[in-house]
Structure formats: C-alpha cells, structure tokens
C-alpha cells in the first residue's frame, strides 16, 4: 500500500505577519502625510518610500501603484466608518428625525478622515479610474437618498411642490463629502455645527411645515 502524503500546511509566523502589517501601516501613514501636504499628483512613490524610511521596491511590493495605495488608504480611513444604519434611519417614525439621521450619517462618513476625503476628491478629478470609483460611490449615496425620499413621499411628508425625485436630488447634493469638505475642512465649521445645519436645511427644504 502506497504511503499517503499529508499536504504540508503552510506556516505563517505571527512575528512575520506583524512585521508586514507594520510596514504597510508605515507606508499608509507616510502616504497620507504627503498626499495632504503635496497633493496626490505631486506625490511620488519614491517620496513615500523616503518618508517611511523604506526602499522604493518595498512600497511597490505592498501596494503596486500609487492609485492602489490611495484606495487602500480610503478603505482604511473612510469606508470602515460607513454606518450600516440606513434601514434604521428610513424606519424612523418622525420625518425630521429621519433627515437628522441622514445628516449624522454624512458626518460619520466624512469626519474620521477629512484630509483623506479632500485628497480623494482632488485625485478623482485627475485620475480616470479614481474618478470612476467615486462615481460608483456617489451612485450608492444617491440610492440611499432615494430610499429616504421614497419613505417621505409615501407618507405624504414632503413639502407641496417637492417631488420624490427632487427630494432625492437635494439630499444627495447636500449630504455629501464635498459639502462637508468645503464647510468643515476649508471654512472651519465644527462637526456639530455642520450636522445641525444640514439637518435643519434638509427639513426646511423638503418637509411640510406640519412635519418640521
């Protein structure tokens, strides 16, 4: 009877895994700093490697391209903060509270890494692939706004003359990272001020006075 060889299980050293994670984190921190200071187009892989005290091939090994590095930075700082609370927002019985919940979601999304939001917005304007990715993300926000608008329209809470489609468009336009970037990052509003303004502006623009 032939011996049956048991497949050798690949050993992953916890120490080695920790070193890889630490290297990736050092690269992300360096890239974030340089993207913020110089902008995405003017930041090179060589500059990121120097900032992280690493060799250029090490950066390429972990991320491959500058675009991939930015995408991973977005994933690590922005996407992980996207709340999974849309269903609860839509289900809120009070229309004004529904819009307040949408405003809160906008702040949660953008406030964790406003510098990365700014870099990502500017990079999407010069990089076609990043631009396409942001259009996909924007379409997701538009669908979320559509769900809230549909719930308001179904119960007759929308202001006279405001259609479901118009309500969706207003929410999409105002509750986005670009508006947050202008008012908070550039003009110095606090998160609380922005959230209160957005909630009140949406309620005034979209709800019948009896629901305000």
pLDDT tens-digit series, residues 87-129: 778 888 899 999 999 999 889 877 877 888 888 888 888 888 8
Q: How confident is the model at residue 52 (pLDDT cuts 50, 70, 90)?
A: very high
State percent of the chain over pLDDT 90.
55
Helices (H), ranges, the chain: 14-38, 45-51, 56-63, 66-77, 86-91, 95-111, 114-124, 128-154, 164-174, 177-180, 191-206
pLDDT score for 135: 84
Ordered by start, the domain boundaries in the chain are: 14-74, 79-211
Pick the CATH number of 14-74 from 1.10.10.60, 2.40.128.640, 1.10.150.530, 2.120.10.30: 1.10.10.60
């Amino acid at each position: 009877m032939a011996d049956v060889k048991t497949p050798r299980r690949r050993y992953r050293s916890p120490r080695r895994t920790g070193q890889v994670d630490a290297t990736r984190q050092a690269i992300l921190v360096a890239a974030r700093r340089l993207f913020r200071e110089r902008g995405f187009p003017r930041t090179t892989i060589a500059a990121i490697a120097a900032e992280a005290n690493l060799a250029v091939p090490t950066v390429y090994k972990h991320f491959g391209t500058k675009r991939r590095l930015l995408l991973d930075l977005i994933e690590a700082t922005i996407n992980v903060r996207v709340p999974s609370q849309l269903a609860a927002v839509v289900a809120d019985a009070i229309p004004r509270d529904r819009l307040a919940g949408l405003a809160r979601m906008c702040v949660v999304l953008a406030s964790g890494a406003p510098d990365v939001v700014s870099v990502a917005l500017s990079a999407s304007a010069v990089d076609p692939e990043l631009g396409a990715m942001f259009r996909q993300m924007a379409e997701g926000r538009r669908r979320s706004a559509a769900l809230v608008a549909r719930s308001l329209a179904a119960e007759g809470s929308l202001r006279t003359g405001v259609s479901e489609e118009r309500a969706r468009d207003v929410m999409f336009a105002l509750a986005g990272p670009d508006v947050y970037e202008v008012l908070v990052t550039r003009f110095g509003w606090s998160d609380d001020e922005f959230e209160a303004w957005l909630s009140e502006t949406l309620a005034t623009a979209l709800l019948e006075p009896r629901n305000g």
